[in-house]
Amino acid sequence: MIIPCPFCGPRDLAEFTYHGDAARAAARPAHGSTDQEAWDRHVYDRRNPAGSHAEIWQHAGGCRSHLRVVRDTRTHEITETTLYAPEVSQ
Amino acid sequence: MSGYRRPSGGKVIERGKSITFTFDGKQYFGLAGDTLASALIAGGVSVVGRSFKYHRPRGIVAAGVDEPNALVTVLGDGAREPNIRATEIEIHDGLVCESQNRFPSLDFDMRALNQLGGDALAAGFYYKTFMGPARWPFGGTRTWMAFERQIRRAAGLGRAGTESDTSRYDRVNAHCDTLVVGGGKPGIVQALEAARKRRRVIVCEIDPTLGGYASWSGDPDISAMITQLQAMDNVQILTRTTAWGIYDGNAVAALERVSDHRRDRAPGEARQRMWIIRAGHVALATGAFERPLVFPGNDRPGVMLASAAQRYAAMYGVLPGKRIAIVTNNDSAYTSAIALKARDANVITIIDLRSEVSGGARSIASVAGARLRTGQAVVATAGTGGLDSIQVAPFDHRTRRPTGRSEGISCDCLLMSGGWSPAIHLASHAGGAPRWDDTLKAFLAPEDGRDLSLHGAAAGDFVFGAGLSPAPAPVYEVRAPGKAFVDFQHDVTADDVRLAHREGFHSVEHVKRYTTLGMATDQGKTSSLPGQAILADALGRPLEQVGTTRFRPPFTPVSLGSIAAERFGDLHPERITPIHDWHVKNGARMVAAGHWQRPECYNRWKESVEQAYIREAKTVRRGVGIVDVSTLGKIDIQGPDAAAFLDRVYTNGFARLPVGKSRYGLMLREDGFVFDDGTTWRLAPDRYLMTTTTANAGPVMQHLEYYLNVIWPDIRVHLTSVTDQWAAMAVAGPHSRDVLAAIVIDTDVDNLTLPPMGIVHGRIAEVPVMICRLSFSGERAYEVYCGAHHGAHVWNALIAAGEPWGILPYGLEALGALRIEKGHVTGAEIDGRTTARDLNLDWMLSTKKPFIGSAMMDRLGLVPITRQALVGVVSINGEKFHGGSHIVESANPKKPGPSLGHVTAMCYSPVHDRYIGLALVSSGRARLGARLYATDPVRSASHVPVEIVRHVMVDPSGDRMHG
Amino acid sequence: MAEYSALQVIRNALGGNEHWKPLWRKPDPKPAYNVIIVGGGGHGLATAYYLASEHGIANVAVLEKGWLGSGNIGRNTTIVRSNYLLPENAAFYEHSMKMWETLSHELNYNVMFSQRGIINLFHTPAQEDEAARRGNAMLLNGVDARFVRPEELGKRMPALDLAGSSRLPVLGGLEQPRAGTARHDAVAWGYARAADRRGVDIIENCEVTGFIRDGTRVTGVNTTRGDIYARKIGVAVAGSTSRVLAMAGIDALPIESHVLQAFVTESVKPCLDCVVTYGGGHLYISQSDKGGLVFGGDIDGYNSYAQRGNLPIVEDVMSEVVELFPAFAKLRLLRSWGGVMDMSMDGSPIITAGPLPGMYLNAGWCYGGFKATPASGFCFAHTIATDEPHPLNAAFSLDRFYRGYVLDEKGQGATPWKH
Amino acid sequence: MAEPFISTPVMAATAQSPIADALLPGEYGNLAIGAQVALSERFGLAICDVCAWPGLETKTANAIKRATGLAVTKRRDAVGEAAQGFQHAPGRWTVIAEDPSLAERLTRAVSANATVVDLAHGRTCLRIAGEAGTSVLAKLFAIDFAEKAFPVAKGLATSHHAVLAQIQRVDAQTFDLLVFRSYARTFFHALTRASEEFGYRIVPPRAGEPET
Ligand SMILES: Cc1cc2nc3c(=O)[nH]c(=O)nc-3n(C[C@H](O)[C@H](O)[C@H](O)COP(=O)(O)OP(=O)(O)OC[C@H]3O[C@@H](n4cnc5c(N)ncnc54)[C@H](O)[C@@H]3O)c2cc1C
Ligand SMILES: NC(=O)c1ccc[n+]([C@@H]2O[C@H](COP(=O)([O-])OP(=O)(O)OC[C@H]3O[C@@H](n4cnc5c(N)ncnc54)[C@H](O)[C@@H]3O)[C@@H](O)[C@H]2O)c1
Ligand SMILES: Cc1cc2nc3c(=O)[nH]c(=O)nc-3n(C[C@H](O)[C@H](O)[C@H](O)COP(=O)(O)O)c2cc1C
Ligand SMILES: [Zn+2]
C-alpha cells in the first residue's frame, strides 16, 4: 500500500503506523469525564465498517505527522489523505 | 522423445559456443543461449523427472514458466535449489543439476499401499482411511502419524539442503510513471508510446531478451522496435525480471535473476534482486498460456504443447521429434504446424477434435504437408520411455467420447493445443473475479478500477494469422479408458475431478482443494481451465458459472532469499551506546535488549555469569559501581503547556515539580493498566527531560505524540526524541559521591547542593555534564548525562576517578539484582496485565487530577485484592529457584496444585546472602510471611520453599540512598 | 451408510470409485428451524454437529454465504496447540486438544491431526524466563510442556541456524509435544459430513442479509435464498462478525477485522518435523504433508475485509524465515494469501448468549481459532442449547471488557492489531 | 544550581564518532571500473531541530535565515556554504552547521516562535557522493531519487527498516544522511554493503576535523 502523506508525498506502508478509527479518536470522552459507559464504549467498542473508513495513521518512519486517511476496508483504496486535524473527524 | 538440434537456425543460441553441464551426474553439451530444457531436448533426453504422486516418468511439456514437469534441483554454491524449471535455467559451464523424485525409496508400508493400485490412491483417499482403531494402543492420532510419515516421504518434490545459502540478495526501490510488464510486441508498443510522451518507463521481461512471441514467430518489425526502445533515455529495460505481485497502490514486486545464468559473480554482485516498483500506471502485456488437452496417456514424455515446439524450433534450433503429430481444438496449432514445417519438421498429421475446420486451417495443413483428421481424437499413447505411437479414433465432441475404432499412428512427438488462457494473474491479484469471454473460451482480467491496463494476448487479443479464428471449440477432454491427466505435476486426472464432483465438491475452489488441481508449482497455469471445463460438464453448467479459482501472488515462485533481500544474514539492526567499545574491550558479555546491545556482566577470571553479577552487585552495595544506562528512552518536552501535559500522561503530578528536580512517574494505558515508568526532570519552567524504559522508548514517544496531535491539539508542547543525544551512566554505591566529588567541577555534589532527585550541571574532564541524583539500586547514586560523542571520554574519566574506591562497571544482571532487592519494577512486572495497585504503586495514583487511564483503572476486575500482587520471595533453605517458576502451596513437586502466581525475576542477593525474587502472587499482600514453594517443573525441576515477604527487601526506609 | 475405512477405499477402488456419496446433501432451506447457525466455517459446522450429537437438536441449518469452508477455516496455517498462559484459556484450549486427539474417529473422517509438536524458540535470558513461566503454567494446568536445548534443536532441525546471523542466537525452545497441525479443509468437510448425517441442513451460497426481529428478539434471518425463521440464531462468522451484527442494529463490538497473510513454498521432501516459532520476531513455520513449508507472521495491522495483504509483511516474514533457516533462502515462495480475522480487544474469544435475545455470538478468534474448533463448537452448542455458558466458556463473555476481566495473553490492551 | 545548558557542542578533543573504527580510508568492492561512490562522515557538526509553533512557521523560517544565512522558507530547503537546512516535518527543520554555537544562535533567533533542540551528538551525518550514489540509496530507501522528484537542497525524512534517516541532496550526486547515532555503525555497514557492487571509496575526515 502507498499512502500519500500530505507533507512528504506518496510513501510506502512500511513507514506508517496505524491508530485506528478516526471517529473513535474524535469521540474520546473529555479529559476528566467520569462517564463510565462512555469510556467503556470508547476503549473497547469498534464500528469496524466494511467500506469507507476514516482512520488515523502516523507517518512514524517519516515526518511523524498524524494523518487522516479515508480508505475503503474492502479494497484498500485510499480516497483522501490530510494532516490530522481534530475538527475534520468530528 | 527423439529431439535433436537442427544444423542451422535458433535465434538466441550461439552456434560455435559450446557449454558443458551436468545432469544427474552425466555430462551434456549445449550451446550458449540454451535453456536446460532446450539443451536436454537437443540431447535426445526425454524423461526429466517423475510425477508427484504416481511417480510416472515425465518429459518437457512447455517452453516457459508454465512448465509443469521438468523440475530439477540446481546444485550451486553449496545450497541446494530444488524445483527449478528446466525451461528457465540458462545453461552455463559448470552448471550441475539433478532430477527429482526419481527413485523414491518407499519403505514397506508405502509399497503395500501402492499395490492397492491407482484407483485407491484417487483424490482424497487419505481422508477416508488411516484413522486406525479408536482405542489404545493405536488410538488417538498414533495410526495416522505412522502413515503420515510415509506419505510425507513419498510426497514432496526436490530436497531442501541444510547448508546455509551463501549468496547475496539485493533490493532496489524504483519509481516510474509507466511500468510495462512483458517485453513482447504489445509491451514494446506500450513502452514506446509512453516513452514518447516523456514518461518515465520501466519494462520488465522474464526472458533474457525482449520480443516475446513476435521474436520467435519471426515478426519482421520486432528487432527495429527493440532497438528503438533501447535508445530511449527515459526507458529502463529489465530483462530476466519477473513481475510477481501487484500490491495496493500499484506497488509491483519483481524478481531479477542477476547472475544465476553465469558461473562467476563480480564482488558485491547479487544472485537475485528484488525490485519494488511504484508505478503510476501498470501496463500488462504478459501474453497467454497454451492449454493442454486431456486424453488418456497425455502425460507420456513426447507429448508437448504445440507452441512450445514452435518456440524450441525458432529460438534454439531444436526439434522435439522426427515424426510429429498434432492434436488440437483450435486454429493456433495450425500456425505452429506451419512454423515447424518451415524449420524442416516432419509434421505428419493434425488431429482436430472439431468436425468442422475452416478453409484457412485446411490450407495451412496441406501446406504443412500434414494429413488433417477432423472430428478425431487421440485416445491413447504408447511407448517405453518416450512416445512411440498414438491411437486415434473418431470423436463426438458433444459427448467427449470416441465413436469408433481407433487407428494407430506411429510418431515420436505429439503436440497438443487446447486454446489459450490470457495471463491475467497479476491483474487478478486484487481479488476481483475474472470475466468469461465466450468467444475466446477464456477468462479475462477483472475490472477493478485500478490504474492498470492489459494489452495483447493478455487482454484476449489473439491473432493467429489470416483466415484463422481465435475461438477454440469448447472441448478439452477425450473420455476414453486410461488415466487422462489434467494437472500433470500433481497427478490429478479427469476422473479425480469427477470423483470430487460426485462427493459433493461442486465449487471450483472445493475441487481444487480436494484434488489439489492447480496447487502445484505451476499453479495451474496450463491445467486450470481444462479442469474447470470437466467440472462444468459434470455439473451440467456453463463454464462461466463455474468460474475460476483465485489468483494469488507470486506469479511464479520466488526465492525466499530474494524477498528477504538485504536483510538476509542481517535481520536485526544493532544499536550501540557511546560506551559500547569500552564494554567489549573490558570483557563484557553483550546481550540483546531489543535492538540494543548491553553488557550482561563483565566476566573476569573465567567467572560464571552468576559469580560476575554477584561480585558486581556487592561492589555497588559496599563501594561504588558504574553502569551504562544510555539506552533509556529520553524525550525532550518543551512548551508552555509542558507541565499540564505531563500531568495528563502521568498518574502523579509534575506541575509542581521545582525546576532542577526530577520525579519518578508512572503512566497507564487508556484501559487503566500500567504502561511505563521512568523519571522526568524539570530543566526549566517549560522544559522537561522525560526518561522511559529502554524497551518502551519508541512506544512512549508514539503514545505522547498521539495524544498531543490527535487528542489534545490545543496543548502547546513539542516533543523530540533525544535518546541518542545523551550518554548516560549511573554511579552508585556508598562511595559514589566521593567519586563525583573527586572529578566534577563547576558544581558541588554534596547533599545540600545535590539532594535526592536534585539535578546539577557541571563538568567532568572538561566535558559539560548534567547530574541527577537518582537511585535504581537503592544505594546513593547519580546519573551522569553528557553529549553522546563525549560519553566514552566521561566514562573513562569516572572510572579513573573511581579507582581509589575500587569502582567497577556493572552489567544488566547486577542492575537486575540490585533492583530486585529494592523491589523496583521493570518489564517483567509491567507486562501489560498489571495495575498500579498490583505493583504496590497505588501511592502514585493522584486523586487530585484525571490522567490517562484514571477513568478505567477502577473497574470491577481491576481492583479485587485477590488479584496477583507484587511481593518478594526469599528462598528459605538457601536453594536456588528460577525466574518463571510458579508459586504453589504444595510441598510435593509431583502434585504442586494450582498456580498462585509466578516469579517475575530472581537473583542471588548479596545483602541477604540467599536467593530472592519478586513475584506476582494472588492475594499477595495477604500472604506476607506465608511459606510457599517456587516450582519450576519445566526447566530445572526445582521446587524450593520460599517465604513471601514485602517487595522491598533492602533498605525499606531509603536511608542508604538518601544519606 | 457407507462408513469410511481402508476396506471401503479398496472396495470402491475396485468399482472405479463410482459409488462414493456426497459428503453432505444440498438441501433447499426449510422455512424454519430450531436453530440457525450463520457461518459455514469450522466453528459453525462444529456447533451444528454438537447441537445434534450432544443435545439432540438436529433441526438445525448452517447458512454459508459462499462455498463451505471459504472463510478462515480454509486459509489458516493449521496449528493446533494449547500452550496458553492464562488459566481460562488453558482450560478451554486443552479441552479442545483432547477433542482433537479423537476427532478423526468421532467424525469418521481423517482430519490428519499430526501431533508433531510445537517449539517456541527463545533467544535471550529474559525470553527464557518467559518461556519457563509459560511452560510451568502449562504443566500446572495439566498441559504437556518441556524445555528443548539447542543440541536437540540442532538434531531435530538440521537446517536451523542456532547461532543466528544477528545477535539473537537460539538459546532453546519451549515445546508442547502434543501440539501439531491438522488438515484445515478436512476439518470443515469432516464436521459437515458428520452434521449432515445427523440431519443438519448445510446450505451453501446462502448469505444472511438481515435479521428478522420481534421487538428486540431475533426470530429469523433474511437470506439470498429467502427468509428463514428459527428459535435461536447462532452467529459464527469470524472476520465478518461486525458486518453481520450490524444487520441486527449492533453497530459496535469489541472486535476489529484485520487481515493476516499466510504463505507456502513449493513442496520439498520432509525437512521440518515440528512447528517452530521464532522469538526474535513474529513467525511460525511448519511443513504440510504435501511438502510445502507453511508460514505466518504478524497481521498487516489495519482494518481490512479484503482477504489479501500487503508487501511489507511478506518481506518481514521471509526475512525471518531465512534468518532461522538460512538454507531455505533458495526455496521458493509458491503462494501467499490472506484471511480476515476477528481481532478482539484482549486477543481472547467471545462465546456467549446475546447480545440480543434469541441471538448467540461466537467470535473474536483472532489468528488462533482453528485449534479451538472442536471446543468452540462444543461450548457454543452448549450455550445455545441450555442458554447457559459451559464452565469452559464462562470467561469468554462479552461484558468482560467493560467489567475489567480481560483475558490478555499478550498484555497489549485494547489495541487489537497488536494481539 | 547552574543554568541548564541548552546545547553541548561537540568538543574535538573529547568526542568520538560511533563509526570511527569502520571509517578506514581506502577503496573497496567491485573496482573493475573504479570506485563509483565515495562515503565519508561529517563528524563534529552542530545539528539542531527547530520546531515552530502553529502559525509561526514563516517567522521561524526567517529566524533560521537570520541565524544561519540559509535561504530556507516554508517551502524551500537550502544548502549554504556554512550551513544546511531542510524541513523534515510540517514546521520542523533540521539545521546543520559547522559553527558550534548554532544551537545558541538559533534559540536566540527563534525566540518564542519555535523551540530548538540540540542533536549534535544524537545524529551521525554520513555523506555519499558519486555517480552510483542514487543507485546505492535506492537499495536502502523507498524514495524516488530522480532529480525532478528530489531536487538539490531538498531534505526529507524516511527510514530503512527500523533506522530512521533524514536525507538532504547537497548537489546532483551528493547526499547527506542523518541517522541516529546508536544505529550509525549498523547503518554504515549496510551502506558499504550496498555500495560494494559499484566499488566505493571511504574518504578520510577533512583536515581540521577531529582525528577520531
Ligand atoms: C492466515 C491465517 C492463519 C491462521 N492460522 C491459524 C493457526 O495456525 N491456528 C489456529 O488455531 N488458527 C489460525 N487462524 C485462525 C482460524 O483460522 C480462525 O480463527 C477460525 O477459522 C475462525 O473460525 P471459523 O472457522 O468458524 O471461521 P470461518 O471459516 O471464517 O467461518 C465463517 C464463515 O461465515 C461465513 N459468513 C460470513 N458472513 C456471512 C453471512 N452474512 N451469511 C452467511 N455466512 C456468512 C463466511 O463465508 C465463512 O465461511 C488463522 C487464520 C488466518 C486467516
Ligand atoms: N500459434 C501460436 O502459437 C500463437 C499465435 C498467436 C499468439 N500466440 C500466443 O499469444 C501470445 C502473444 O502474446 P503477446 O504478443 O501479447 O505477448 P508475448 O507472449 O509476445 O509477450 C509476453 C511477454 O511477457 C513476458 N511476461 C509474462 N509475464 C511476465 C511477468 N510477470 N513479468 C515479466 N514479464 C512477463 C513473457 O516472457 C513474454 O515475453 C503468446 O503467448 C503466444 O504464444 C500463439
Ligand atoms: C496449510 C495450507 C497449505 C497450502 N498449500 C498450498 C499448496 O501447496 N499449493 C497451493 O497452491 N496453495 C496452497 N495453499 C493455499 C490455498 O491455495 C489458498 O490460497 C488458501 O487456502 C486461501 O484461499 P484463496 O487463495 O482461494 O483465497 C495452502 C493453504 C494452506 C492453509
Ligand atoms: Zn510524512
Cell of residue B291, nine digits = 492449454
At C265 the pLDDT is 98
A68 interaction partners in chain D (CB closer than 8 Å): none
Cell of residue B779, nine digits = 544505594
Out of A62, A65, A83, name the one closest to residue D158 (CB). A62
Q: Identify which has the larger pLDDT, C240 or D3.
A: C240
Out of B248, B670, B706, name the one closest to residue A43 (CB). B670
At B801 the pLDDT is 98
At A87 the pLDDT is 59
C261 interface with A at CB cutoff 8 Å: no
pLDDT, tens digit, 9 for 90 and up, residues A4-31? 999 999 999 999 999 999 999 999 999 9
Intervals of chain D under pLDDT 50: 1-2, 207-212
Q: How far does residue C349's CA lie from ligand 1's centre (Å)?
A: 13
Task: Tell how strand C201-203 and strand C118-122 pair up.
Answer: unpaired
Residue in C with minimal Cα distance to B898: C140
Distance from the A62 Cα atom to the nearest Cα atom in chain B, whole angstroms: 13
CA Rg value for chain A: 14
Residue in A with minimal Cα distance to D164: A61
Contact C306 A74 (CB under 8 A): yes
Q: For domain A1-23+49-85, which architecture applies? A: 2-Layer Sandwich (3.30)
Within 13 Å, how many C-alpha atoms sit on residue B318's CB side?
A: 30
Give the DSSP per-residue string, B535-592: HHHHHTS-HHHH--PPP-S-SS-EEHHHHHGGGTT--S--B--TTHHHHHHTTEEEEE
Q: How far does residue B81's CA lie from ligand 2's centre (Å)?
A: 27
Cα–Cα distance for residue pair B38/B319, rounded to 1 Å: 9
Closest Cα to atom 19 of ligand 3: C337
C18 interface with A at CB cutoff 8 Å: no
User: In testing the pocket of ligand 3, which one of C335, C340, C341 has its CB within 8 Å of the most ligand atoms?
Assistant: C335
Residue in B with minimal Cα distance to D149: B175
Cell of residue C54, nine digits = 450432544
Contact C139 B937 (CB under 8 A): yes
Give φ, ψ of B36 to 5 degrees.
-60, -40
Residue in D with minimal Cα distance to A6: D90
Query: For residue C66, which amino acid is it?
Result: G
B247 interaction partners in chain A (CB closer than 8 Å): 1
At B118 the pLDDT is 67
To test the contact with chain C by mutation, choose from B562, B833, B834, B862 the residue with the greatest count of C C-beta atoms within 10 A, namely B833
B276 interaction partners in chain A (CB closer than 8 Å): 12
> Which class would CATH give B864-962?
mainly beta
Q: Tell whether ligand 3 has an atom less than 6 A from the beta carbon of residue C147.
A: no
Instruction: State which ligand 3 atom lies nearest to the alpha carbon of C266.
Output: 8
Span C69-92, average pLDDT: 97
Closest Cα to atom 32 of ligand 1: C237
User: In testing the pocket of ligand 1, which one of C64, C72, C307 has its CB within 8 Å of the most ligand atoms?
Assistant: C72
At B102 the pLDDT is 65
What pTM value is reported for the model?
0.97
Superfamily (CATH H level) for B580-631+726-818: Probable tRNA modification gtpase trme; domain 1 (3.30.1360.120)
Helix (H, G, I), strand (E, B) or coil at B814: helix
At B132 the pLDDT is 83
pLDDT, tens digit, 9 for 90 and up, residues B350-397? 999 999 999 999 999 999 999 999 999 999 999 987 899 999 999 999
**What are the boundaries of each domain within chain B?**
167-286+420-468, 580-631+726-818, 634-721, 864-962
Out of D8, D162, D181, name the one closest to residue B786 (CB). D8
Say if residues C256 and C417 touch (Cβ distance below 8 Å): yes
To test the contact with chain D by mutation, choose from A2, A3, A15 the residue with the greatest count of D C-beta atoms within 10 A, namely A15
pLDDT, tens digit, 9 for 90 and up, residues B153-181? 888 899 999 999 999 999 999 999 999 99
Cβ atoms within 10 Å of B706's Cβ, excluding its own: 18
CATH number for B167-286+420-468 (one of 1.10.760.10, 3.40.50.1110, 3.50.50.60, 3.30.420.40): it is 3.50.50.60
**What are the boundaries of each domain within chain A?**
1-23+49-85
Contact A15 D156 (CB under 8 A): no
Q: Tell whether ligand 2 has an atom less than 6 A from the beta carbon of residue B243.
A: yes
Span C60-72, average pLDDT: 97
Q: Tell whether ligand 2 has an atom less than 6 A from the beta carbon of residue B215.
A: no
At D168 the pLDDT is 98
DSSP helix, strand, coil percent of chain D (3-state; round to 5): 25, 30, 45
D158 interaction partners in chain A (CB closer than 8 Å): 8, 11, 15, 61-62
Say if residues C281 and C316 touch (Cβ distance below 8 Å): yes
DSSP state of B450: S
Distance from the A49 Cα atom to the nearest Cα atom in chain C, whole angstroms: 7
**Nearest by Cα to B786 from C382, D75, C295, D11:** D11
User: In testing the pocket of ligand 1, which one of C50, C203, C237 has its CB within 8 Å of the most ligand atoms?
Assistant: C237
Intervals of chain B under pLDDT 50: 104-116
Contact B790 D1 (CB under 8 A): no
Write down all domains in chain D, each with its CATH number in brackets.
Answer: 19-44+121-203 (3.30.1360.120), 45-119 (3.30.70.1520)
At B918 the pLDDT is 98
Say if residues D173 and D133 touch (Cβ distance below 8 Å): yes
D138 interaction partners in chain B (CB closer than 8 Å): 172-174
**What are the boundaries of each domain within chain C?**
27-78+184-255+346-418
Q: How far does residue B7's CA lie from ligand 4's centre (Å)?
A: 62
pLDDT, tens digit, 9 for 90 and up, residues C362-381? 999 999 999 999 999 999 99
At C2 the pLDDT is 52
Q: Tell whether ligand 2 has an atom less than 6 A from the beta carbon of residue B652.
A: no
Q: Which of residues 9-68 of A touch C (CB under 8 A)?
A: 12-14, 17-18, 20-21, 40-41, 43-50, 53, 55
Distance from the C214 Cα atom to the nearest Cα atom in chain B, whole angstroms: 34
Cα–Cα distance for residue pair B799/C351, rounded to 1 Å: 61
Q: What is the ipTM of this complex?
A: 0.97
At C6 the pLDDT is 87
At B366 the pLDDT is 96
Closest Cα to atom 5 of ligand 2: B464
Residue for grid cell 448468549: C353
Residue in A with minimal Cα distance to C342: A48
Q: What angle do CA B22, B25, B29 make, to 5 degrees?
A: 30
C253 interface with A at CB cutoff 8 Å: yes
At B449 the pLDDT is 75
**Nearest by Cα to B918 from B880, B956, B949:** B949
Nearest ligand (C-alpha, residue B311): 2
Say if residues B87 and B63 touch (Cβ distance below 8 Å): yes
Nearest ligand (C-alpha, residue C351): 1
At D7 the pLDDT is 83
**Chain B, chain D: beta-carbon pairs less than 8 Å apart:** 169
- Mention every residue, 6+ apart, whose C-beta is less than 8 A from residue B885: B902, B903, B906, B934, B935, B936, B942, B944, C132, C136
At C320 the pLDDT is 97
pLDDT, tens digit, 9 for 90 and up, residues B608-657? 999 999 999 999 999 999 999 999 999 999 999 999 999 999 999 999 99
pLDDT, tens digit, 9 for 90 and up, residues B783-799? 999 999 999 999 999 99
Out of A43, A44, A48, name the one closest to residue C303 (CB). A48
Cell of residue D17, nine digits = 564518532
At B134 the pLDDT is 77
Q: Identify which has the larger pLDDT, A85 or B341.
A: B341
Say if residues C193 and C48 touch (Cβ distance below 8 Å): no
pLDDT, tens digit, 9 for 90 and up, residues C263-273? 999 999 999 99
Instruction: State which ligand 1 atom lies nearest to the alpha carbon of C206.
Output: 43
Contact C311 B859 (CB under 8 A): no
Span C241-247, average pLDDT: 98
Contact B248 A29 (CB under 8 A): no
Q: Does domain B634-721 have CATH number 3.30.465.10?
A: no
A78 interface with B at CB cutoff 8 Å: yes
Distance from the A58 Cα atom to the nearest Cα atom in chain B, whole angstroms: 8
Q: Report chain C's mean pLDDT, rounded to a whole number.
A: 96
Q: Does domain C27-78+184-255+346-418 have CATH number 2.60.40.10?
A: no
**Chain B, chain C: beta-carbon pairs less than 8 Å apart:** 380
